[in-house]
Amino acid sequence: MYKSDFPIFKTQKKPFVFFDTAASAQKPAVVIKAMSEMYKTCYANVHRGLYRLSDEASAAFEQARQTVAQFIGAQSQDIIWTRGATESINLVAHSFGQTLKAGDEIVLSVAEHHSNLVPWQVLRDQKGVVLKFVPVFPNGLPDMKVYAGSLTKKTKLVAMTHMSNVLGTVFPVEEMIKQAHQVGAKVLIDGTQSIVHRPVNVARMGCDFFVFSGHKLYGPTGIGVLYAPHAWMNTLPPYQTGGQMIKTVTLEKTTYAESPARFEAGTPPIVEAIGLAKAIDYVKSIGWDKIQKHEERISALLMQTLADCLFVEPLGAWAEKKGLVAFNIKGVHAYDVGTFLGLSGLAVRVGLHCAEPLAQAFHVPGSVRISLGLYNDEKDIQALAAALAKLKKVYAL
């Protein structure tokens, strides 16, 4: 239905099926055009020039911030530009982390992407904070009893995925946030996967931090978002220093600007912000109702196709998955499966998916992951079914 909006599908030899959106989505023509036009017609650095191009670029750049804010139910001053969700989390770990002391606790889940795990391990090693981990059930959902028991007066932060990039399960983050706030903890939600498949309203959700990357939301690479209330962020030290994030500078002392500028040192990702805003406009032009109906239909076909193959073993329960699934095939290494599907024209992801502790929890050395985007359709699922039928014959499954 939406495949014609994405130029890459017109340039590839057939067959070509893209099943790797969870890693990075393809880009619609409107995003590519908007970024190209920005470079061709009104590119200049922002907030620094008293000339027309700079004024136009600055206005477009700040309008992009407003577009992101409205998209997630926030205020524009609460939107901080970063290079991606990874940098957003590192920013919080660095700046908020400086307020923590030895013995303070951070609660995570075993399903976290490495981007929402390694920064906290570094903080643990540097400052002596304590990390607690919530397990997930075989169906992929978190153990809420263990979660509740992990929260104490020492808990300063809960950092949790909204939607697992491996299991495809959606965590009950609103309830988790409510419980965390009852003990006075802040909450960071990694929305890198969820933002693509469902509407997000951070005010209704109640989180203190929310992060996502532009390139998974049909936008460009090199742009990410950190939602963080500016009043709170104004009390924290900056993540990086340099131009743009200062208020005054002398040889003896520097005072910092207020957030979001405080956390946007140097020349920002100007054109990338424009591209992300255009990607959001594209998603909004379709509407969440249509997007979710389309994805639910294709996702149901995908899950049924895989479930019909008795040799396919999913990670987590079929019913809990939203737009992506990781699986293995009995007796065939995941890399062999990925290679076979790749030679059949199907682009899938294979490996640990930057979530190695989760693979260890499920006792698998890796898995094959299929993730859906707007451009996937019934023909893609038919191509998958045909490829799996061939694989069954080749490996005598």
Catalytic residue, candidates 42, 207, 309, 354: 354
Q: Give residues with Cβ within 8 angstroms of 221, minimum separation 6.
A: 24, 84, 214, 215, 272
SS3 121: helix
| CA-to-CA separations, 217 to 203, 289, 374, in angstroms, rounded | 20, 17, 10
Catalytic, 309? Answer no
SS3 label, residue 96: helix
Side-chain-facing half-sphere of 123: CA atoms under 13 Å: 28
Q: How far, CA to CA in Å, does 302 sit from each of 91, 106, 392?
A: 37, 36, 17
> Between vectors from CA 259 to CA 277 and to CA 121, what angle results, nearest 5°?
90
The conformation of residue 80, written as its DSSP 8-state character, comes to E
CB 152 within 8 A of CB 105: yes
113 φ, ψ to 5°?
A: -65, 150
Backbone angles phi, psi at 307, to 5 degrees: -65, -30
Residues taking part in catalysis: 354
